[in-house]
């Protein structure tokens, strides 16, 4: 029997396996500590960090939809300073790459965030969030425009030596166009997809189910969209891709890997099954044994079309 090699290297971020947790679904690594040993994961992506602490959107912030959920948290987070002083020390204790998701209201804020985070130890990479649909300034505004994407990514690139991942929004016409802008601007990897802008109505009150009216759809409902987009980007550009969107089990993760993702992130799946990540790692390993695949690299982008 072979012992499959699950390690992946995403532009210098060395991971023991390709299974990560998606931003905003694992806090700052502290919520599931009794169930999921952090050092079993490929990497952790933190909640989106902004310059200043943010209190987030009014309630209700979430609602369930068929095989999915809407959220409009509004980037509630502790802010850069508190993150560095109070949350990062906890994460440093674990032998796992920590990727910090950053979100600015302006290009300057993205630059400042990346500069400051590059000066501290314990961070393996940055994920530039140009795809949050739930804030009024910044976020998805950058990720919907190829020129703005280029501007923010190229400036962040100049301000950090850390591996740079850009997280894209699916709420665009041509995802490869945005991905290409990010590549030209010098990013090291692409992460996709963030949530799809969506809406739900309570027919009894005739009011939207979210206080912010619209929110971001996640969960199994969006997986086919995410698979299609990962496939498109993988064909178009030569950069590692972190695939995400509705991954619940190993089959889902393998689909992403086969269409071209070098790693995957579990998001909403953690809420449904807190052990999802560990089960997925195990499931990928079993699949590789069964199909006599020695290295995960042999699977990445192996789709037969």
Partner 1 sequence: MFLTEATVIDHLEIASGYYRMILETPKISCQAYPGQFIHTRISDQYDPLLRRPFSIHRIDRKRGRIEILYRVVGKGTHLLTKARPGYKLDVFGPLGNGFKVDRYLKTAIIIAGGIGVAPLLTLGEELVKRGVSTRVFIGAKTRGLILCENEFKELGCEVRVSTEDGSSGYFGTVTDMFRDFLLSNEDISGSSPSLFACGPYSMFREVALLTRRFNIYCQVSLEERMACGVGVCLGCAVRVKGGVYKRVCKDGPVFSAEEVAWNDNSQAYC
Under the criterion CB under 8 A, does residue 55 sit at the interface with partner 1?
Answer: yes
* 81 touches partner 1 by CB under 8 A: no
Distance of CA 178 to the CA centre of its chain: 16
Name the minimum Å distance from CB 159 to partner 1.
28
Catalytic residue status for 132? yes
Nearest-approach distance from CB 61 to partner 1, in angstroms: 5
What number of other Cβ atoms are within 10 A of residue 251's Cβ?
12
Which SS3 state, helix, strand or coil, does residue 259 take? Answer: helix
For residue 165, give the nearest of 134, 143, 192, 135 by alpha carbon: 192
Work out whether 206 is an interface residue with partner 1 (CB under 8 A). Answer: no
Count of residues interacting with partner 1 (CB under 8 A): 40
Asked if 276 touches partner 1 (CB under 8 A), the answer is no
For the chain, how many residues are written?
Answer: 305
Nearer to partner 1, 208 or 260 (CB): 208
Distance between CA 253 and CA 269 in Å, rounded?
Answer: 11
156 binds partner 1 (CB under 8 A): no
71 contacts partner 1 (rule: CB under 8 A) = yes
- Exactly one of 64, 86, 95, 294 binds partner 1 (CB under 8 A); that residue is 64
Distances (CA, A) of 82 to 5, 57, 167: 37, 20, 23
- Min dist CB 128 to partner 1, Å, is 21
List contacts with partner 1 (CB under 8 A): 24-27, 30-32, 34-35, 47, 55-64, 66-69, 71, 73, 76, 205, 207, 211, 219-220, 248, 268, 270-275
């Amino acid at each position: 029997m072979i012992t499959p090699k699950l390690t992946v290297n995403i532009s210098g971020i060395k991971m023991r396996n390709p299974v990560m947790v998606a931003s905003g679904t694992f806090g700052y690594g502290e919520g599931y500590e009794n169930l999921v040993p952090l050092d079993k994961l490929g990497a952790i992506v933190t909640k989106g960090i902004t310059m200043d602490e943010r209190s987030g959107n009014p309630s209700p912030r979430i609602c369930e939809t068929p095989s999915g959920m809407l959220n409009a948290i509004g980037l509630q987070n502790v802010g850069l300073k508190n993150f560095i002083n109070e949350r990062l020390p906890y994460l440093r204790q674990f032998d796992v790459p920590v990727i910090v998701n950053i979100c600015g209201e302006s290009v300057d804020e993205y630059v400042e965030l990346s500069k400051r985070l590059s000066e501290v130890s314990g961070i393996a990479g940055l994920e530039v969030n140009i795809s949050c649909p739930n804030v009024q300034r910044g976020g998805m505004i950058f990720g919907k425009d190829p020129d703005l994407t280029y501007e923010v990514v190229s400036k962040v690139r100049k301000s950090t030596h850390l591996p740079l991942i850009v997280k894209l929004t699916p709420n665009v016409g041509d995802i490869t166009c945005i991905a290409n802008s990010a590549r030209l601007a010098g990013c090291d990897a692409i992460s996709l997809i963030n949530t799809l802008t969506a809406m739900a109505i309570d027919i009894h009150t005739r009011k939207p189910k979210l206080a912010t009216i619209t929110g971001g759809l996640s969960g199994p409902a969006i997986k086919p969209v995410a698979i299609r987009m990962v496939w498109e980007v993988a064909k178009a550009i030569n950069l590692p891709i972190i695939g995400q969107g509705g991954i619940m089990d190993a089959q889902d993760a393998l689909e992403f890997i086969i269409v071209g993702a070098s790693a995957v992130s579990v998001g909403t799946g953690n809420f449904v099954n807190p052990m999802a990540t560990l089960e997925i790692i195990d499931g990928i390993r079993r699949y590789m044994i069964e199909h006599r695949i020695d290295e995960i690299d042999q699977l990445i982008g192996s789709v037969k079309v």
